[in-house]
Structure 1
């Protein structure tokens, strides 16, 4: 099975695929597919890697993933513990605008929706203040069939197309054209860094995972991710720090810093602000204010 290129099974009598998943953890490998994917995280937390960027996700989040956008929902390490009783639960909607829906999106009345789809190849996260209405429409699609399901699907697209100031998940205007071999190698590198982020990791350690010299690895990694090794590692660590800070269950910011692989609070504060454009305390204040507004 190819790690990157997936084919979503499409029933002969369906143009919109609704898939409910309940698993011990998310599928752990970087992959992509021709179908647009809308995923509602009903239960679970971890890190979403979309092309060359990463985002902390938690229960209630909804993500739109464009055509052939490489991605992986990586469950938190605790989900892989042999004693873990945790599980993830998602509701997913898949559709291919170049498949059976192709002629539908050529209708002049659907022009605005088609333009919206073409402009969202890099994906987005549904803003928190709109997740309730979007998830409600996704449930209507799940619970209906035939013409009713298609009508609810069109209503969902209309609803999503009205959202303002959507931030792209990927900074690339077009998804990267990875080969299967490159996809496996990049996925292995991502998995290693995301599992070892809280420990000292050297360039030599990661280069060994890719079976490269450090110099060759630096060129390869920058070409395929637009990140240096250090910048990617810092983003992983800051992403994990953001999850811990937003959970609110920590002794001190210094403890969070050390638990995320930083060896000094000064360096943590500097890197945190360079990645998030906020200090750790400003981030916490901003997060809980946004939660209060969404509620």
Structure 2
């Protein structure tokens, strides 16, 4: 399955789009688009891929994406775990999605002084934002209200949501800055194909010849092209994917560090420790200790 450019189906006069989709099994195409997206997913257990971030979630997920961040959700369990059961509880699983452009209320609306805080969160969304805590509950409720209402009430609710995002304390950045910056349409399609291949194969040994073939390029031309677009070598990029995946597994705290090392694609623990520290600045053991400390503090 290739990632696709997904153009939201706009209404004839609507400034932005809101929809609620019910489903049995969570499985969206890996895609990107030029609009902002606010998505609330209600599902027992799933996996989210956004940029170079690969994370699992339980019960629900609320994410705010800036333009051109490739993303998808899946019902599959995380690496090394068995697949979840299919759920069918009277259409209890659903997604509420809001798409809007920066000019939806006029070309300069978000540039006026009163919108400075909201403009800041729009800029942050270029890396993707996960919303947690009380802000998540408020925004999910307002999104439900957006589905139930029409007209000016929807406009008020969207601005209310953006204002809440601007002051929310429990926001997490998902991906590296500028992942898709300055790509033309042809580049975006080609990089989507490359990225899809990497997402599906980063835990394995990736042969340069094979991935270059995905991009219809020679190996040497591919290396130059990839470095120019990502500012990283293929090896550095793959190591980042592996380390980001390892962080999720370390946070789950179900497997040993050695098990995680091999699960994400490193072939020995010393290399894993070295690459992890290059990306995160600390060792996997220190990362796990820090996460446990944060969890213990929050549970007090």
Same fold per superposition (TM over 0.5):
yes
Change (3 A) 1:285 1:39: farther
Change (3 A) 1:97 1:261: closer
Match of 2:96 among 91, 94, 116: 91
> Matches of 2:229 and 2:47 in 1, distance apart?
23
Change (3 A) 1:234 1:103: closer
Match of 1:256 among 243, 257, 260: 260
> Matches of 1:116 and 1:216 in 2, distance apart?
38
Aligned partner of 1:157 in structure 2 is 162
Change (3 A) 1:12 1:117: farther
- 1:139-288 matches, cutoff 5 A: 139-163=144-168, 167=173, 169-172=175-178, 175-180=181-186, 182-250=187-255, 252-288=256-292
Change (3 A) 1:3 1:264: closer
Per-residue deviation at 1:262?
Answer: 1.0
SS in 1 for 2:213: helix
Per-residue deviation at 1:76?
Answer: 7.1
Per-residue deviation at 1:48?
Answer: 2.7
Q: Determine whether 1:69 maps to 2:68.
A: yes
Aligned residues: 284
Q: 1:38 touches 1:93 (CA, 8 Å); kept in 2?
A: yes
Change (3 A) 1:10 1:110: farther
Q: 1:273 touches 1:279 (CA, 8 Å); kept in 2?
A: yes
Q: 2:4 touches 2:31 (CA, 8 Å); kept in 1?
A: yes
> Matches of 1:103 and 1:186 in 2, distance apart?
29
Question: What TM-score, normalized to structure 1?
Answer: 0.79
Question: What TM-score, normalized to structure 2?
Answer: 0.78
> Matches of 1:106 and 1:211 in 2, distance apart?
41
> Matches of 1:278 and 1:232 in 2, distance apart?
18
> Matches of 1:111 and 1:259 in 2, distance apart?
45
> Matches of 2:54 and 2:260 in 1, distance apart?
18
SS in 2 for 1:175: coil
> Matches of 1:221 and 1:142 in 2, distance apart?
41
Unaligned 5+ residue runs, structure 1? Answer: none
Q: 2:118 touches 2:162 (CA, 8 Å); kept in 1?
A: no
Change (3 A) 1:292 1:281: same
Per-residue deviation at 1:235?
Answer: 1.5
Aligned partner of 2:90 in structure 1 is none
> Matches of 2:147 and 2:291 in 1, distance apart?
31
Aligned partner of 2:19 in structure 1 is 19
